[in-house]
Structure 1
Amino acid sequence: MATQLDQLKAITTVVADTGDIEAIRTFKPVDATTNPSLLLKAAGIAEYQPLLTSAKEWAQRQGGDSQSLLSNMTDRFAVEIGREILKIIPGRISTEVDARLSFDTTATINQARKLIAMYEELGIGRERILIKIASTWEGISAAKTLEQEGVNCNLTLLFSFTQAVACADAGTYLISPFVGRILDWHKKSTPDADLSGPADPGVQSVSKIYNHYKASGYNTIVMGASFRNIEEIRQLAGCDRLTIAPALMQELQQCELPLQRMLNPEQGSISQETPLSEGQFRWGMNEDPMATEKLAEGIRKFAEDQIKLEQLLSKPQ
């Protein structure tokens, strides 16, 4: 019997949720995703020290004020990591814009263009890159413009059906609903409830989004993310893509029980048909305390790790 990881790969595109190149070599995913938290971890790995040095040297050659230097260092490090990962995987790497730009459409667009230009300078075409952007109204608006320019986007920190509908309306290439963080909120809110298996609210959220997209004919890819256990992954087998941390891939690799397909493109039902206005989007988020809290918390956390990465890169070697 094939392992559950191999069975999953037969029905779902598996994406590595890590910046650890050795883990990517081991599990052989199609795509990979990074974010400021993962880059901060990667910066502490000895193998990546030459990439830190290279990023610093490149930024220093660009000149500019101290903030420009920090921005160029962190952007270049993200791109250097992305280039190394792209040498291993056949698909795409997701590289994230600064979370502090989550409420600035123009600044998000400008940084996305900068990251794409940096990859292209290294000989890597935009067809191998996904720009990760927080699923705020401003971020979704930025993604709409970027998609029209041929820059594909991964809308992250997505916790609600409202966000998912707005992303599909904007024509985004891919969304990353955060399964585990949704579960975290509900476990804290209702600690005595049974939230396992199909009762997991994160699983239910992604299933609803997936079914709506398929029934409505949206081309936007659904990629479940932020898993807390392999049962969440099993419950979403058949989803377009799942981005999985190495430890959970290892668990799936060690299990040879049959894996049942849970999501099928034929089983969706249309839940909403008209595009959301900005007012409807903001009201939908206002009515969903979980999504509002987890989106804000996620942006703060990524911003904190971005600052820590800047501080690390700014230290003399």
Structure 2
Amino acid sequence: MNQLDALKQFTTVVADTGDFKQLAQFQPQDATTNPSLILKAVQKPEYLPLLKDTVAAHGNEAMDAQIDRLLVRFGCEILASIPGRVSTEVDARLSFDTAATVARAKRIMALYEAQGVKRERVLIKIASTWEGIQAAAELEREGIRTNLTLLFSFAQAVACGDAKVQLISPFVGRIYDWYKKSAGAAWVEADNAHANDPGVKSVRAIYNHYKRHGIATEVMGASFRNVGQITALAGCDLLTIAPELLAQLGASTEPLTQALSASAALQLDLPEVHHTEASFRFAMNEDAMATEKLAEGIRAFCVDAVKLEALMH
């Protein structure tokens, strides 16, 4: 058995791509997209017609409406190739506007429903700012499921649990990147690999907290740099993995064991934690890594959103 098949015994495997023509070979349950992945996809000749068709049919609409239509078009193509859910992202420029995020999420969902897609098959991706988490809480109460992304800290995960969001995407690789860069020449890769990887440790702490306290929010590790980070989180609810790393897992027959389990988490002595807006903001301020990576992630998605709009002209 290869590592990908072994991983699927413990964890729901999700493909992290806008390149839906690649999906069949890995047979993921779900798929996730973001503005950067869609931008990458539409620059390939086989996906350019989706962009051109969207502009031809809806070029008279406002640009934000055209972008949402393009994202939903990709989402529908992806859903035709997988049995589960697709995640579609709200414009990152709305990351600090609760009301605008709610409105945009509802419009994206309405576009999916107009294509005959049921709500259960769509997760609306929202950045894990305080405002984004409050928007998600409101959407969840109205039956729209959310995926809280750009999640780097325990505080963000706690607030998402309190908001009863469907799923969170803690970013393993970007946490690793920050600590590696911060350590500079003092970084020893072997000492920070697998279970000791700072990104892996962050997800493990969140997973154990959720399971120990009966929080139903799903944990989906994201943003991986290497296969070791993935295998060290075998047993996590879901893992969203780029096609290159899915291929590496599929090509490896190294043994893979379960690293996380809900039953083990129940035995742990972990305090219950909740956050008010003030305590959340203070916890984020105390966490330089999470503060920097959240801001950087939002900025990068905004840049790619602008590039995507430029291609639509």
Same fold (TM over 0.5): yes
Quote the Cα distance in structure 2 between the aligned partners of 1:267 and 1:282.
31
One-letter code of the match for 1:253?
G
Helix, strand or coil at the partner of 1:46: coil
Quote the Cα distance in structure 1 between the aligned partners of 2:147 and 2:178.
23
Return the offset for 1:177: 0.1
Return the offset for 1:45: 1.7
- Verify the 8 A CA contact 2:158 2:273 in the aligned structure 1: no
Find the counterpart in structure 2 of residue 143 from structure 1: 136
User: Which residue among 86, 96, 107 is the counterpart of 1:114?
Assistant: 107
User: Which residue among 238, 249, 261 is the counterpart of 1:241?
Assistant: 238
Helix, strand or coil at the partner of 1:176: strand
Return the offset for 1:257: 1.6
Quote the Cα distance in structure 2 between the aligned partners of 1:178 and 1:275.
21
Quote the Cα distance in structure 2 between the aligned partners of 1:234 and 1:103.
34
Find the counterpart in structure 1 of residue 23 from structure 2: 24
Quote the Cα distance in structure 1 between the aligned partners of 2:16 and 2:297.
16
1:125-154 per-position Cα deviation (integer Å, ceiling 9, x unaligned):
111100000000000000000000000000
User: Which residue among 154, 160, 176 is the counterpart of 1:161?
Assistant: 154
Return the offset for 1:209: 0.3
Alignment root-mean-square deviation, CA: 1.0
Helix, strand or coil at the partner of 1:133: strand
Find the counterpart in structure 2 of residue 263 from structure 1: 260
Return the offset for 1:274: 4.6
1:229 maps to 2:222: no
- Verify the 8 A CA contact 1:58 1:73 in the aligned structure 2: no
Find the counterpart in structure 1 of residue 7 from structure 2: 8
1:1-317 matches, within 5 Å, as: 2-60=1-59, 63=61, 68=62, 70-191=63-184, 192-193=186-187, 194-268=191-265, 269=268, 271-314=270-313
Return the offset for 1:60: 2.8
One-letter code of the match for 1:240?
D
Helix, strand or coil at the partner of 2:192: coil
- Verify the 8 A CA contact 2:168 2:217 in the aligned structure 1: yes
Structure 2 unaligned segments of length 5 or more: list them.
none
One-letter code of the match for 1:144?
A
Q: Which moved more, 1:269-278 or 1:84-93?
A: 269-278
- Verify the 8 A CA contact 1:58 1:76 in the aligned structure 2: no
1:172-224 per-position Cα deviation (integer Å, ceiling 9, x unaligned):
00000000000000001113233212211000000000000000000000000
- Verify the 8 A CA contact 1:212 1:270 in the aligned structure 2: no
TM-score normalised per structure 2: 0.96
Distance verdict in 2 for CA 1:6–1:186, change over 3 Å: same
Aligned residues: 307
One-letter code of the match for 1:172?
V
Distance verdict in 2 for CA 1:113–1:257, change over 3 Å: same
Quote the Cα distance in structure 1 between the aligned partners of 2:278 and 2:127.
18
Distance verdict in 2 for CA 1:185–1:125, change over 3 Å: same
Distance verdict in 2 for CA 1:125–1:270, change over 3 Å: farther
Quote the Cα distance in structure 1 between the aligned partners of 2:121 and 2:232.
29
- Verify the 8 A CA contact 2:153 2:202 in the aligned structure 1: yes
TM-score normalised per structure 1: 0.95
Structure 1 unaligned segments of length 5 or more: list them.
none
